Amino acid sequence: MNAPAPRFIPKDPAFEARVRASFTTQRFLTLLGATLETVRPGYVEMHLPGRPDVRQQHGYFHGGAIATIFDSASAYAAFTLIPPHETILTVEYKLNLLAPGKGDRLIVRASVVKPGRTLTVVQADAFGASADGEILCATTLQTLMAVPERPLTPPD
Amino acid sequence: MNAPAPRFIPKDPAFEARVRASFTTQRFLTLLGATLETVRPGYVEMHLPGRPDVRQQHGYFHGGAIATIFDSASAYAAFTLIPPHETILTVEYKLNLLAPGKGDRLIVRASVVKPGRTLTVVQADAFGASADGEILCATTLQTLMAVPERPLTPPD
Amino acid sequence: MNAPAPRFIPKDPAFEARVRASFTTQRFLTLLGATLETVRPGYVEMHLPGRPDVRQQHGYFHGGAIATIFDSASAYAAFTLIPPHETILTVEYKLNLLAPGKGDRLIVRASVVKPGRTLTVVQADAFGASADGEILCATTLQTLMAVPERPLTPPD
Amino acid sequence: MNAPAPRFIPKDPAFEARVRASFTTQRFLTLLGATLETVRPGYVEMHLPGRPDVRQQHGYFHGGAIATIFDSASAYAAFTLIPPHETILTVEYKLNLLAPGKGDRLIVRASVVKPGRTLTVVQADAFGASADGEILCATTLQTLMAVPERPLTPPD
């Protein structure tokens, strides 16, 4: 589940700059304190530090916080492979919680399974990380769609 | 998708008080500004006011925020039907985004499809609400498991 | 889960004839003994008689047989709303088994939740039917894509 | 997605014999012509020869046939790790079709991601195989539940 991403050829040489620029516009990710780490063709790694307010009542990472990082990391993994002037929308995903999300930090690794002109499928795993190592706590399979980019304006 | 919940008989007459007490312990939901509205046997409605920081870069509700409210509302819908001294864990869910989440407020309605001694299946819909009405923007199907309750202590 | 389908306007007035003609080309459905019953805009009902070879070792409908009827019924429900010269591919689905599939006949009812130019989302329920009535035994949420039709030739 | 299964310790030393004995009782799999190949702790491989009646109208493997082999292979992968006197039920799965299922034979490889006392999660991939090699055509993520075994009698 955690294999290195297959080697994909990006259609936009500026893919990493575009992903990192998009990330800075995501206020919801800022609210949670998420960070964007590795960005490679077909692969993205994001982290979520374990602040108290992203945990649930037993102290584990909240399922909603895990879903948020999954959704974003998978979207950015797909984003690395699209042409300029396109963007990525999540169509759907399925998420399995496997173990309590313990640790100081949540690490999400998202890898493109199948890129496509219209639809891209991404698989991602979440790990609770501490000084003792990493424990797989959730896995997801997500479908995304490439659409023409549009200006950054609020919805009417 | 939005039919009234079937009539279920709660096993714990204090189900509503338990759900509302649990909600107040959820710091992640407080961080987002979510509110718990209707709580009935097998049915829960939650709202999320459209603060800027729960929206994505085009001004729509962020997919992660929608997932968070879905996950919690579905868990509480299952929670209404369990016996005292049990609690509910999310096993997995699948979520389809259907339309941009526009509006002043996100409304999530979660209904138990099939309760069970161990596993409960919940279906939920999310609507973007404004003065113009409600638009269905996402739908989910979720599996939850009842487990014995344990004390409210942080994980070791 | 079993509400009447919303009223959709078909883009191809010959939608029912196209669905029924396509059904007759599906040898896998013939192998199982499936029948196509109701075909309305955005809605399809299929039946599977309970022959011994579509049941599993305890005598219930086999999960694979249920999945097959779900997949086809959902595809045909989406098919009723596409323009002429397009066809429908399954992108993905999620299926929950809710109760043993007992009975003389499996009934699957598939309703379009959200039609789209490219993607359509369908919700479907499966019921085990006997003289005693119907029991909900499975539910699914499926994403389908409209693509240009191509000639009926075998793959190279 | 196709990594070797992690090394799991089976709780029943006779796991392989139990899996193979169960397979012979599955009339639906016999109807399709499926074969059970490798059986290892936490891992099962099944094949489906490309008979015309398991293909759809364009000659590709039918989605329902793929789902059937997925469901069975994943269930048997979970089955390899349960104690004697328990059996496995499918709770739910999500399946993505990635490419047309071409080839002489469908190969499904199912690997346990997370075993559990009650719930087990399995990931599986399907490949269309021919003299030219294998092409990944579908992937699935499935949740299964261990339950006490019961006698092999038809449902009442």
Structure tokens of A95? 């998420």
pLDDT at D110: 98
Of the pLDDT bands very low, low, confident and very high (cuts 50, 70, 90), residue B3 is low
3-state helix, strand, coil split of chain A in percent (to 5) is: 25, 40, 35
Q: What percent of chain B has pLDDT over 70?
A: 92
Distance CA C122, CA C113 (A): 5
SS3 B5: coil
CB of D145 within 8 Å of a chain A CB? The answer is no
SS3 A30: helix
pLDDT at A65: 96
Mean pLDDT of chain D: 93
Prediction pTM value:
0.93
**Orientation of helix B15-24 relative to helix B63-79, angle to 10°:** 150
Which residue among D1, D99, D114 places its CB closest to the CB of A123? D1
Query: A7 Cβ partners below 8 Å, 6+ apart?
Result: A41, A42
pLDDT at D1: 46
Mean pLDDT of chain A: 93
Distance CA B46, CA B63 (A): 16
pLDDT tens-digit map of B7-41: 899 999 999 999 999 999 999 999 999 999 999 99
pLDDT at B1 over 50: no
pLDDT at D25 over 80: yes
Report the 10 Å Cβ neighbour count for D153: 9
Of the pLDDT bands very low, low, confident and very high (cuts 50, 70, 90), residue C152 is low
> What is the residue whose two structure tokens read 């310790």?
D9
Of the pLDDT bands very low, low, confident and very high (cuts 50, 70, 90), residue C105 is very high
Q: What percent of chain B has pLDDT over 90?
A: 88
Distance CA C145, CA A37 (A): 33
State the best of C70, C92, C125, C141 to mutate against chain B, taking most chain B CBs within 10 Å. Answer: C141
What is this model's ipTM? 0.91
Chain A adjacent subunits, 3+ CB pairs under 8 A: B, C, D
C1/A26: higher pLDDT: A26
Give, in order, the Cα–Cα distances in Å from C72 to each of A50, C82, C90, C93, D41. 45, 16, 9, 12, 34
List of chain D residues whose C-beta atoms are within 8 Å of the C-beta of residue C90: 63, 97
> What is the residue whose two structure tokens read 């864990």?
B89
pLDDT tens-digit map of A15-34: 999 999 999 999 999 999 99
Our CA-based measurement puts residue A94 at a distance from the nearest CA of chain D, in whole angstroms, of 7
Beta carbons of D155 and C58 less than 8 Å apart:
yes
Which residue among B59, B72, B97 places its CB closest to the CB of A64? B72
Q: Average pLDDT for residues A66-90, to the nearest whole number?
A: 97
Of the candidates C73, C48, C53, C72, the residue with the CA atom closest to the CA atom of residue C128: C48
Mean pLDDT of chain C: 93
Distance CA C45, CA C36 (A): 7
Q: What percent of chain A has pLDDT over 70?
A: 92
Distance CA B7, CA B5 (A): 6
> What is the residue whose two structure tokens read 């649930």?
A56
Q: What part of A 76-105 touches C (C-beta under 8 Å)? A: 91-92, 94
pLDDT at A48: 98
Which residue among D3, D99, D141 places its CB closest to the CB of A3? D3
Taking every pair of Cα atoms in chain B, the longest distance, rounded to a whole number of angstroms, is 49
Structure tokens of C1? 């889960």
pLDDT at C1: 46
pLDDT tens-digit map of B56-114: 888 999 999 999 999 999 999 999 999 999 999 999 999 999 999 999 999 999 999 99
Determine the residue of chain B that is closest to C142 in CA distance: B96
**Orientation of helix D63-79 relative to helix D15-24, angle to 10°:** 150
Q: Average pLDDT for residues A116-139, to the nearest whole number?
A: 97
Structure tokens of A46? 């994001």
List of chain D residues whose C-beta atoms are within 8 Å of the C-beta of residue B91: 91, 119, 143
Say which amino acid occupies C118. Answer: T
In sequence order, the β-bridge partners of residue A20 are none
How distant is the alpha carbon of residue C61 from its chain centre? 16
Give, in order, the Cα–Cα distances in Å from B129 to each of B49, B52, B65. 10, 15, 15
pLDDT tens-digit map of D129-151: 999 999 999 999 999 999 998 76
Of the pLDDT bands very low, low, confident and very high (cuts 50, 70, 90), residue A7 is confident
Distance CA D126, CA D134 (A): 9
Of the pLDDT bands very low, low, confident and very high (cuts 50, 70, 90), residue A1 is very low
Q: What percent of chain C has pLDDT over 90?
A: 88
How distant is the alpha carbon of residue B134 from its chain centre? 18
List of chain D residues whose C-beta atoms are within 8 Å of the C-beta of residue A121: 96, 98, 139
Our CA-based measurement puts residue B29 at a distance from the nearest CA of chain D, in whole angstroms, of 27
Q: Average pLDDT for residues C12-27, to the nearest whole number?
A: 96
Of the pLDDT bands very low, low, confident and very high (cuts 50, 70, 90), residue B4 is low
Beta carbons of D145 and B118 less than 8 Å apart:
yes
Q: Tell me the Cα Rg of chain A.
A: 15
List of E strands, A72-104 = 86-97
Structure tokens of C9? 């306007």
pLDDT at A3: 52
Beta carbons of C62 and D154 less than 8 Å apart:
no
In sequence order, the β-bridge partners of residue A96 are A139, B92
List of chain B residues whose C-beta atoms are within 8 Å of the C-beta of residue C1: 1, 3, 113, 123
How many CA atoms lie less than 13 Å away from D109 in the CB half-sphere?
Answer: 13
Beta carbons of B96 and A92 less than 8 Å apart:
yes
Distance CA C70, CA C58 (A): 21
Give, in order, the Cα–Cα distances in Å from B118 to each of B82, B88, B143, B148. 9, 10, 10, 11
pLDDT at D153: 56
How many CA atoms lie less than 13 Å away from C4 in the CB half-sphere?
Answer: 4
Of the pLDDT bands very low, low, confident and very high (cuts 50, 70, 90), residue D58 is confident
Give, in order, the Cα–Cα distances in Å from C7 to each of B135, C14, C19. 16, 17, 18
Query: Is B92 in contact with B71 (CB distance < 8 Å)?
Result: no
Beta carbons of D114 and A99 less than 8 Å apart:
yes
pLDDT at C127 over 80: yes
Our CA-based measurement puts residue A114 at a distance from the nearest CA of chain D, in whole angstroms, of 7
Beta carbons of B121 and C114 less than 8 Å apart:
no
Q: What percent of chain C has pLDDT over 70?
A: 92
Domains of chain D plus CATH, in order, are: 15-148 (3.10.129.10)
Q: Average pLDDT for residues A56-82, to the nearest whole number?
A: 95
Determine the Cα angle at B138 with ends C81 and B109, to 5°. 120
C-alpha torsion A52→A53→A54→A56, nearest 10: 80
